[in-house]
Structure 1
Amino acid sequence: MVENPDAKLALVVDDSEMQCMILKNLLMEEGYRVLTGNDGARGVALYIEHLPDLVLMDINMPVMDGYEAAKRIKSLSPNSLAPLIFITSMDSDQAFVDSIEAGGDGILTRPFSPEVFKAKIKSIQRISNLYSQVKNLQQEQQQDAELAEQIMSGVIEARNFALDRIGIIKQAAALFSGDIQLTALCPGGNVNVLLGDFTGHGLRSSIGAIPLAETFRVMTKKGFSLLEIIDQINRQLYELLPVDLFCCVCCVSISSHERSAYVFNAGLPDTYIFNFEGKIKHKISSNHIPLGVMPNLLPQAQLQVFSVENNDRVVLISDGILEARNHQGEMYGARRFEFAAKQGFYHGDIPGKVFDAVDEFCQGRPQEDDLSLIDIPCHGWEQIPASDEAAHSLAISEMHDLYLESEPSWKWQLKLTGQRLALVNPVPMAMGQIQEIEGNGEHWNNMYSILTELYVNALDHGILRLNSELKNSAAGFAHYFMVRESRLKNLTCGMIDISLSYHPLQSGGKMIITIVDDGEGFDLAAFYEHRLKLKQADKVMLCGRGIDLVHQLCEKLEYMDGGNKVQATYVWAK
């Protein structure tokens, strides 16, 4: 009989040459190629060399018995079935039990007919084929999952902002991480950071990651406030996720301009603000339920505001770090994290030192949850106005067109009154209209800053009657923000009218922004006079930097009608 080189390979191990010959002939009749060995040790050696598809093993043999040989063979193939049948004359319950415990997948007791033998071989081979199909499917699923994870990582993480400055480190408990880390630059120069922890881990826990990331990035880019972004994410997750799946989130917005950190913690461990020595300045606990649990944020939901210095750092962590366990079942805990974070300050690597400490503590115990940490410096995010040299040259060369009272090519206007002033943020709406008509461009970042500063000035000082000097204390911005939120919630009257007028120029464009309010008005001259006195007295005035920025960016800035009307002219070159 000519052997088929593609036929399955069987290994027969028996100290009787006669039994080996009989079993070999029966297997060849079933289409197998056959190897034979006369003791357990030889059988193991042949298995290692040839990796057969089927093993028939006698029990009582010299050098190494069948039980020991079977155990070694099974230990060599933990990820495959490697079907093994014991062939024996021992007809007892104990022999059957010992055979199964040694790793046997079946047992045949002599004497048996050729028909029974062949039926047994077909049965075990059917199981082996099914096992191989399942393994192939698992491998395909694993490959698909790895591809999906790569795509998700590319969509979510590769587009993060300032990866060279913001320390992000994560360690997933499964292929798919239930944690999500996002960073994005606001049009006005602030940086927004989000750490999210979906329920559980693995593929199911990551299904909300892509829509969450897109909402966070798009709304940040359009200039929506942090609380508006959080509110929209909450609504989206509530509509998208099943009832048992939600997301603990901590969002932070760092404003170098205001020297403040705005924090919203919904279900994550404490967020930390460390000073330059690694000492804890603030521990910001969760003050809201996780996102996606309810259709709307809680009525009392608001940002917490903290003053920060240039060398401060904000650190966000997921609960997987604090709840990591060693072999004794002890949790890593907040105290160990705080110590490791301080060591990270000394070595200039907070994420690395914390994760090294967690790994050392866990002593190789399998990870139960995803681990994540984000380390954010509080300096270097100042907005640098785009160079005005090109716009200035344009203004000189087109002086006539620049100041000519011509009809605009288009106008946009929005008037808000009463409670709508507290509920609607018109700046992203205005910017969306501009970009829809005129397309994208870097000069619109300057436009966003101008529009934001002038609108906030009209709302805060004209309508809400807030005193800018509240910002001059160490915790001034935090106090200012709390008073602002309180007055906004109780706002029932007031009016702000915004209008944009676009005038195309040959080599660029001109936008005239006009904002009118019915509040107390803003006395620009008195403001500058007061600031000059403070400067002469060597006192620092933190407020007013927004007006300075607008002056730098605009060709013209004028307050009229007792400070209730402001008109700014912004010019840019193509």
Structure 2
Amino acid sequence: MPSSKNLVLIVDDSKVQCKVLSALLEEDNYRVIVANDGATGVEMFITHQPDLVLMDVNMPIMNGYEATRRIKAMSGVGNLAPLMFITSMGSDESFINCVEAGGDSILVRPFSSAVFKAKIKALQRISDLVEQVKSLQHEQKNDAELAEKMMSEVIESRNYGLDRIGVIKKPAALFSGDIQLSALSPNGNIHVLLGDFTGHGLRSSIGAIPITETFRVMTKKGFSISDIIMQINSQLYTLLPGDLFFAAGFACISEHEKSAYVLNAGLPDAYLFNEQADIKHQFSSKHPPLGILPEILSDVQLDIINIHPHDRLVFLTDGIIEARNQEGEYFGSQRFETAVKEGVIEGDIAKNIQKKLADFCKNTEQEDDISLVDIPCCSWINNNDITVISSNLSDELSELDNSLSIPLAWSYHLHLTGKLLKNTNPIPLVMNQINDLEGAGEHWQSLYTILTELFVNALDHGVLKLDSALKNSPEGFSSYFNERTQRLNLLQENKQGNAHEDFVRISLQYYPLFQGGKMLIKIKDSGVGFNVLKVIKTNSQLLNTGMSLSGRGINIVDQLCDTLEYQEDGTLVIASYIWRNKQVLD
């Protein structure tokens, strides 16, 4: 027997038929309400939301077909009540009309009470299934909302610079197929990603969490933006089904190099705007979306652009320029550029874009996820993050070291040659070893900066014989890195047995001190060397005048290190880095 909660609406202009049907239903513990015309039946359906509906065809005011169409139009919103026509018309045309109006079943008079109750049981099974579906949909909705909240917390709340980076995120469904990521590299560079998976909704976001973890972990470990792009592409190629891919824009903003490194892989054009809202550069897509090819195309290079303090880099997804108004017109690139320029002048790009989109689209249904990131190109470097060893601390720790004759705790050596110099970034590998041996610590960020600058100098100026003066102009940066890529490719062609072998050798020696520690760093390269004093003097003069875009890295290294010296005609650099433990500083 059904429980007393089950309610049946009978819509029939015959009061006798209503009484008969009501009596049969009440025998099976149904509650019954009655309407004697189609219009009243529609009103009672809205008011009472019955579990089953029994509908006559020929009635005054509104016939059963029209009443059924109106009820079924509303049923999809929240009440999918099964509806059965009860009629004296048994023709084929009558059956077709009942089905086309939305009836779920038909019962032709005359009929026995047993047949009627059997039909009601069949309808009840449909009603029960509908309730189960509604319950499952409710649970699914709750689960989806919880999953979306968790994903948002995992992905967005841990982004770096949330108070500085302008963001628009407006999903077309509960789940967004767009993701925005930002993270701080140990050397102070900012890595940013805006990505757009195919489509929108839960399916389109399946790669978001693994991409997020890869991006953040590799950035934290000091991998370059190029290494991160290659790893994410490989990961997505393995992870995603064939019809799902990932259009993405990547940027590394290096304030101390005054440069931005950008790759657009399948997104609409990205932009670099200056303080006057002029477009300094447009970054068109240079690579297919990630996840399509097993490897990044070898001939595709990052765009390397000189940046100034008030420049802003803007990435967007196609949901913005393909947003449509009620006339079907696209928002388009021109409106977007105009809106960004106004936003630069008003001081809030994201807010202005959202306003312009709302005014343009009005109440038009959103068809795709809408996302944007607006990244400032200055004031990321916090001088307080650079711990410069004071002379007093240096003397104190050196005296402690000498007086106690602190023994060497461990040493680490890495020798890279030929092809490995092209394909391997050794600094994250070295830092992983240090973290495994000594645990995490804020002081390792300064060590990362030291190692990175010294290794890059050894590779670029020692092995590759590149002249840093090439970088002393905005155009020079691009020329410098193009030449660097060409010379790295030539390293693969060295044959075994060559008299001259290209190499860089890294050696570390760690001495634990009572109040902290000391790392002795030696980096040797196969270059021909250089006049150390002349180069340092030239760099110092250019830096003092603000004319040099190069040489800044070694200046930072000199501040971070206790001692820094070049030997063997500049092919060997020896640096010592001394730090106090955090609790001592506190």
- Shorter-chain TM-score range: over 0.9
What amino acid does structure 1 have at the position aligned with 2:454?
L
1:55 to 45, 53, 56: 53
Superposition pairs for residues 364-379 of structure 1, below 5 Å?
Answer: 364-379=363-378
* Structure-to-structure mapping, 1:63-462, within 5 angstroms: 64-78=62-76, 79-93=78-92, 95-384=94-383, 386=385, 388=387, 393-402=392-401, 406-462=406-462
Distance in 2 between residues matched to 1:7 and 1:287, nearest whole Å:
63
Aligned 8 A contact 2:4 2:29 in 1? no
User: What's the offset of the Cα at 1:4?
Assistant: 8.8
- Three-state SS of the structure 2 residue aligned to 1:358 is helix
Identical columns (%): 54
Q: Take 1:277 and 1:126, find their aligned partners in 2: how far apart are those partners? A: 69
The residue type equivalent to 1:504 in the other structure is P
Whether the aligned pair in 2 keeps the contact of 1:271 and 1:314 (CA below 8 Å) is: yes
Query: How far apart are residue 293 of structure 1 and its match?
Result: 1.8
Cα 1:165–1:533 shift into 2, 3 Å: closer
Change beyond 3 A, Cα 1:401–1:245:
same
Change (3 A) 1:530 1:212: same
Aligned residue for 2:579? 572
**For 1:475, what is the secondary structure of its paired residue?**
helix
Asked if the contact 1:215/1:233 (under 8 Å) is kept, the reply is: yes
2:527 matched to 1:519? yes
Does 1:548 pair with 2:555?
A: yes
Partner of 1:12: 10
State the SS of the aligned residue for 2:351.
helix
Which residue is equivalent to 2:30?
Answer: 32
**Pair 1:558 & 2:557 matched:** no
Deviation at 1:201, TM superposition (A): 2.2
Cα distance in 1 for partners of 2:306, 2:278 equals 15
Mapped to 2, the partners of 1:303 and 1:19 lie a distance apart of 80
Q: Sort the Cα spacing of 1:23 and 1:197 in 2 relative to 1 into closer, same or farther, 3 A.
A: same
Kindly indicate whether the alpha-carbon contact (under 8 Å) linking 1:167 and 1:375 is maintained by their aligned counterparts in 2. yes
Query: What is the CA distance between 1:566 and its match in structure 2?
Result: 1.0
Distance 1:17 1:348, change over 3 A: same
The one-letter code of the counterpart of 1:523 is: N
Distance 1:160 1:243 in 2: 29
Q: 1:532 to 1:57 in 2, by over 3 A?
A: closer
Matches within 5 A, 1:482-497: 482-491=482-491, 492=494, 493-497=501-505
1:278 aligned partner, one-letter code:
A
- 2:537 maps to 529
- How far did 1:61 drift? 4.0
Deviation at 1:216, TM superposition (A): 0.9
2:150 is paired with a residue whose SS is helix
Secondary structure of 1:196 counterpart? strand
Return the offset for 1:556: 1.0
Greater CA drift, 61-70 or 487-496: 61-70
Following superposition, the deviation at residue 55 of structure 1 comes to 2.2
Picking from 20, 23, 36, the partner of 1:22 is: 20
Equivalent residues of 1:188, 1:383 under 8 A apart: no
TM superposition shift of 1:192: 0.3
Q: Secondary structure at the match of 1:104?
A: coil
* Matches of 1:392 and 1:444, distance apart in 2: 20
Deviation at 1:208, TM superposition (A): 1.6
Structure-1 residue corresponding to 2:498: none
User: Larger deviation: 288-297 or 85-94?
Assistant: 85-94
Paired with 1:236 and 1:44, the residues of 2 have a C-alpha distance of 55
Letter of the structure 1 residue corresponding to residue 247 of structure 2: C
The answer to whether the 8 A contact 1:222-1:432 is kept is yes
CA contact (8 A) 1:513 1:567 kept: yes
* Aligned 8 A contact 1:386 1:443 in 2: no
Query: Cα 1:46–1:265, aligned 2, differ >3 Å: closer, same or farther?
Result: closer
1:510 paired to 2:518: yes
Contact 1:402–1:510 (8 Å) recurs in 2: no
AA aligned opposite 2:524: V
What is the CA-CA distance between 1:460 and the residue it aligns to? 1.3
1:184 match: secondary structure: strand
Superposition deviation, residue 533 in structure 1: 5.0
Structure 1 residue 173 displacement after superposition:
2.2
What amino acid sits opposite 2:434 in the alignment?
I
Q: TM-score, normalised by structure 2?
A: 0.91
SS in 2 for 1:158: coil
Once the two structures are superposed, residues 104-134 of structure 1 have per-residue CA deviations (whole angstroms, 9 ceiling, x without a partner) of 3333333222222222222222222222222
User: Structure 1 regions of 5+ residues with no counterpart?
Assistant: none
Deviation at 1:176? 2.1
Check the 8 A contact 1:4/1:33 in 2, yes or no.
no
AA matched with 1:407: P
Q: Deviations over 1:195-220 (max 9, x none)?
A: 12222222222222211111111111
d(CA) in 2 for partners of 1:552, 1:461: 21
**Quick one: structure 1 residues 512 and 355, their matched pair in 2 at CA, closer, same or farther if it must change by over 3 Å?**
same
2:481 equivalent in structure 1 = 481
Tell me the secondary structure at the aligned position of residue 419 of structure 1.
helix
Structure 1, 197-206 or 215-224: larger mean CA deviation: 197-206
**Partner amino acid for 1:570?**
Y
Q: Is the 8 A contact 2:386 2:446 kept in 1?
A: no
What is the SS of the residue equivalent to 2:379? coil
Shift of 1:497: 1.1
Identify if the C-alpha distance between structure 1 residues 139 and 391 changes in structure 2 by more than 3 Å, giving closer, same or farther: farther
The 2-side partners of 1:241 and 1:179 are apart by 15
Residues 391, 572 of structure 1: 8 Å contact kept = no
Q: Is the contact made by 1:460 and 1:466 (CA closer than 8 Å) also made in structure 2?
A: yes
Q: Please say if residues 406 and 513 of structure 2, whose CA atoms lie closer than 8 Å, have aligned partners that are also in contact.
A: no
Per-residue CA deviations over 1:442-476 (Å, capped at 9, x if unaligned) read 11110011111111111111121211222221333
Is the CA contact 1:184–1:220 (under 8 Å) kept in the aligned structure 2? yes
Farther-moved stretch of structure 1 (378-387 vs 436-445): 378-387
Cα distance, 1:549 vs. partner? 0.7
State the match for 1:466 in structure 2. 466
Structure 2 regions of 5+ residues with no counterpart?
495-500, 582-586
In structure 2, relative to structure 1, the CA distance for the partners of 1:544 and 1:357 (3 Å cut) is: same
Q: Which amino acid aligns with 2:264?
A: N
